[in-house]
């Protein structure tokens, strides 16, 4: 006989705080008391940054080398030393091997003590420790804010909060490793996310590197890829010098002792050439803009403001997400001058569980305002079944395996699925004192 399950997925929102005035056990509930000082962290694919909102303004917290941003790099030397940030980026010569273990991605690296495996979370923890050494171990997560939302707060807060009335804002954030587009509604200090898209961006630096590698081979008949140090030198200079094209029409890249320490690299790059090399990538950014307008059921003419995450007088684009997260942290901690700000964020992807045949059964649709709770009933697949294995995924694909795995609950409600008689279906979730079996993300 078949039974019926009532599955509830809860989506919570988080940030970080240390030295809380009152410990919170249930992060899914609204924090009604002052949590103490709240910091904002942007753990980016290219750079990472930490900030705090204090005394009516955002303060970027420098790392132990005195830098405001930390490159998101970790390197292990032959003698076993672990380097993080700028030192790691300067020594990077090859990519680690990445594969899956127990259905989770892991990174295999060579250290002075042999090969070791690290999870992405472990690598991230190393970078976090570098940015906020000494206090990182005591942090508690209280909210995660979408990157475009944080950027919108950072760039649009000062201007939009002075204006009254309703405005629809499009945020365009083309970062070093990711590309995000968000649609927000702003009215009298309240930011509400209407929709967003997120995808990995192509590496614009790589296009320039391939161009110069091709030129070098045409002129000298040598392949730069034969010298990993030369490739790294070229990557470093391209990343640094290409930013100048925002204000100049051409740049010249010069590298001494370039290839096997024998050649002097000296090549010119114009803004027109840069645009030509990357034109297909620029055009590909238009599709996410069209999608986010479709999600919000809006036309181009409905957009009042467009915010480009780019260098400005007050904000470095590498610090923009941290800047906005710190402001949101100030709101949560009750800092002065944040009382008129509120942020209503959304779940960027659909969430659901894997059902019979590996099908993704949706429970929380994408762009649902969070925190959120949704429930949906499911029947068991075999007669007299008394255990289930609930696997939670996020994504838009029809098959669960093609989406991102979030977690699982095994053997839930051992005595909670009542056996049915004939055509009757019943659910009696007596798992401890719970009235429903809940999966929190």
Which ranges in 267-342 belong to alpha helices (H)? 271-284, 286-295, 320-332
Q: Is 47 buried (19+), middle (13-18) or exposed (0-12) by CB count in 10 A?
A: buried
- Report CA-CA distances (Å) from 330 to 2, 44, 53, 415, 437: 51, 21, 5, 46, 34
**Do β-strands 342-344 and 190-200 pair in parallel, antiparallel, or remain unpaired?**
parallel
- CATH for 204-278? 3.90.640.10
Position 163 scores a pLDDT of: 67
User: Which is nearest to 201 in space by CA: 46, 324, 47?
Assistant: 46
* 182 token code pair: 């968000």
Nearest-angstrom CA–CA distance, 440 and 406: 10
Position 428 scores a pLDDT of: 34
* 180 token code pair: 């995000």
Nearest-angstrom CA–CA distance, 61 and 329: 14
Report how far Cα 229 is from the mean position of its chain's Cα atoms: 30
Position 313 scores a pLDDT of: 53
Which ranges in 132-203 belong to alpha helices (H)? 147-160
Position 402 scores a pLDDT of: 92
Cβ within 8 Å of residue 280, ≥6 positions away: none
Handedness of CA 261, 263, 268, 269 (dihedral sign): negative
- CATH for 4-14+349-440? 2.60.34.10
CATH class of the domain at 147-201+285-346: alpha beta
Q: List the domain boundaries for the chain.
A: 4-14+349-440, 70-131, 147-201+285-346, 204-278
Mean pLDDT by 10 residues, the chain (441 residues): 52 44 35 66 85 87 87 82 84 62 76 81 82 56 77 70 75 74 77 65 79 94 89 85 84 90 90 91 86 84 82 71 87 77 78 91 86 82 76 91 84 49 34 36 38
| Maximum C-alpha span of the chain | 84
* 432 token code pair: 């401890």
User: Which is nearest to 324 in space by CA: 341, 299, 300, 348?
Assistant: 341
- The 10 Å CB-count burial string (b at 16+, else e) for 109-125 is eeeeeeeeebeeeebee
Position 400 scores a pLDDT of: 92
Position 272 scores a pLDDT of: 94
Nearest-angstrom CA–CA distance, 364 and 248: 47
Q: Is the pTM of this model over 0.95?
A: no
Which ranges in 118-203 belong to alpha helices (H)? 120-131, 147-160
Position 223 scores a pLDDT of: 93
Contacts 24+ apart (CB under 8 A), 86-91: 89/236, 90/236
């Amino acid at each position: 006989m078949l039974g019926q399950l009532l599955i509830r997925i809860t989506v919570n929102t988080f940030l970080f705080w240390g030295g809380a005035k009152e410990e919170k056990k249930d992060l899914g509930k609204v924090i009604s008391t002052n949590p103490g000082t709240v910091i904002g962290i942007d753990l980016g694919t290219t750079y990472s940054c930490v900030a705090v909102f204090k005394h009516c303004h955002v303060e970027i917290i420098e790392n132990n080398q005195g830098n405001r941003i930390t490159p998101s790099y970790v390197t292990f030397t032959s003698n076993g030393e672990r380097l993080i940030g700028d030192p790691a980026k300067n020594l990077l010569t090859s990519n680690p091997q990445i594969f899956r273990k127990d259905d989770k991605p892991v990174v295999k690296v060579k250290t002075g003590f042999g090969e070791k495996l690290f999870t992405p979370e472990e690598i991230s923890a190393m970078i976090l420790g570098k940015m906020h050494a000494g206090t990182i171990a005591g942090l508690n997560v209280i909210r995660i804010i979408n990157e475009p939302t944080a950027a919108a707060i950072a760039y649009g807060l000062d201007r939009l909060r002075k204006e009254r009335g309703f405005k629809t804002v499009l945020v365009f954030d083309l970062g070093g490793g990711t590309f995000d587009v968000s649609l927000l509604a702003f009215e009298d200090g309240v930011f509400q996310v209407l929709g967003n898209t997120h995808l990995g961006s192509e590496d614009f630096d790589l296009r320039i590197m391939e161009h110069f590698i091709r030129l070098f081979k045409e002129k000298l008949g040598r392949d730069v890829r034969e010298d990993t140090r030369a490739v790294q030198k070229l990557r470093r200079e391209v990343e640094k010098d290409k930013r100048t094209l925002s204000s100049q029409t051409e740049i010249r890249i010069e590298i001494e002792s370039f290839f096997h320490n024998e050649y002097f690299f000296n090549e010119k790059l114009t803004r027109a050439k840069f645009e030509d090399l990357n034109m297909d990538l620029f055009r590909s950014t238009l599709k996410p803009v069209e999608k986010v307008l479709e999600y919000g059921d809006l036309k181009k003419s409905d957009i009042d403001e467009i915010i480009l995450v780019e260098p400005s007088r007050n904000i470095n684009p590498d610090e923009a997400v941290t800047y906005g997260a710190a402001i949101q942290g100030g709101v949560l901690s009750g800092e002065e001058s944040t009382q008129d700000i509120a942020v209503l964020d959304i779940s960027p992807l659909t969430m659901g569980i894997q059902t019979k045949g590996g099908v993704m059964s949706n429970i929380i649709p994408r762009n649902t305002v969070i925190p959120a709770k949704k429930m949906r009933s499911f029947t068991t697949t075999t007669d007299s079944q008394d255990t289930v294995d609930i696997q939670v995924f996020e994504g838009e694909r029809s098959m669960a395996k093609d989406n991102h795995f979030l977690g699982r609950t095994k053997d839930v409600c051992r005595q909670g699925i009542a056996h049915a008689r004939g055509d009757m279906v019943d659910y009696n979730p007596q798992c401890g004192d719970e009235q429903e079996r809940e999966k929190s993300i």
